[in-house]
A and B are shown apart, each in its own frame.
Chain A
Amino acid sequence: MYQTKYHKAASFDDAVAALGAAEDGKYLAGGQTLLATMKQRLAAPTDLVDLRGIDGMVGISVDGDSVTIGAATTHAEVASNAALRAVIPVLCDLAVLIGDPAVRHMGTIGGSLANNDPAADYPAAVLGLNGTVITNQREIPADEYFEGLFTTALDEGEIIKAVRFPKPRRAAYQKFPNPASRFALVGVLVADTGDGPRVAVTGAGSDGVFRAEALEEALAGGFSAASLEGASVDSDGLMGDIHATPEYRAHLIGVLARRGVAAAG
């Protein structure tokens, strides 16, 4: 084992200072990507600054028609929280599909969003439900947060505090997981929101999560699977790898969107 200094931050200022003082530091929010990468020697930060002990980082609060989830809340907590299920059940349904039980009990929503893996589930939730990413400096709307493969609007050293979701009229998440990694080969979140339909796709875009505008336009005529008949997603700009071609992914997006709309009821 090579040496890494571990800091447990007590406050945001504390975390920012520890990262700033480190030669090559990384924030730690659950470590389900970062620690695995370090074990493979594909990353070797000199310092890890653990954010989970900061006051107010863990927990789910419901305020009328909006829900705020602390950034260090684990996927397992999101999946099983009864108050959340009563307001935005799709978030519970999505969280229970992430990784395996070990990942769900250590991994956090803030960690997943800061990493912005192009096949992670939470980016689809934030973009599809039009959530807001709240940081130690500002609030970032979903449509401005995701900037491509592993890239977000977060500045160097900026920390996600929480994520706020407005309650949709109805929504569902449909995922076709890679059977080995449990990452989304394609994941589609469909939502009927006060501002019209939103369809967010993860796992498929070569530049990360995106909104399927063609499907959103089709759903604007009525939030039903029938509205999606004949609507399709262009395979241009979709990911191709040993698991699936861009055309296969494009087809899956249509299938999962129809299933999602039907499941949302």
Chain B
Amino acid sequence: MIAVVMELPAVALEIRKEVIRMLAQSGSGHPGGSLSAVEITTCLYFHALRHDPKNPQWEDRDRFVLSKGHGVPVVYAAMAIAGYFPKELLGTLRKLGSPLQGHPDTRFMPALEACTGSLGQGLSIATGIALATQMDKKDRWVYALISDSENEEGQTWEAAGFAGFHRLDRLIAILDYNKFQLDGAIKDIQDLEPLRAKWESFRWNVQEVDGHSIPELKAALDKAKQVKGQPHMIIAHTVKGKGVSFMENNNYFHGVAPTQEEMQAALKELDGDPSLSNAMVAAGKIKKGGK
């Protein structure tokens, strides 16, 4: 854990704003799945993870694998605020030569721990790290953030089975259950329910939380560590595009960055004034997607 002067809700707000700014500046990227994971990422980087931004390769650090690689802007924002690199670097997202690649790439930023972006693979990699942790009896926690639609990938369940069978209790996965995937609502494409029962049947210790409640997330992360002999799954119920009214549950913003005008409205709304957002919606300027 690192020292922060801000309270976690203030950190979350800052991360949310940085996500909007960097995506608007890059002109491409995935706002929806970054905004749904703001509180999760906040609680990881500023509550759960034992890490040292000034020494990212510290051997005994906890490990965090972002399996839903398209959500990497929220991780970049948290890393910048935690002190891994100057905030100004966020403006280089997705630009040639930037260490802030469009999806996590350890060649450019080793602290991301794994190369992801091809969905369904990150949990296996985190499971491998957890296996090494268990073999070496290290006091290390391994975290993975997976998306809901990654539960459609067979490999996710291969990893789930392995981790459950081998009782990898140093592995804590968080599922950002924002209910949408690129083409629409998950319940229409391939409903995942009963999701909790599925993970429990693979021998995981499962908790369900409001993924935007910092107290609930903190409590779940702490509580997971008390349960021995099972890997941990925290199903975090979230809202895609959370925090910006015209992005919430609007799947148009799955993979489309905000325009400059949308960015101004979103930032203003995040500061408590939704007038610009409301005006844009009223004027029919906001594109809609999903259901």
B partners with A: no
Could you tell me which A residues sit within 8 Å of B by CB distance?
none
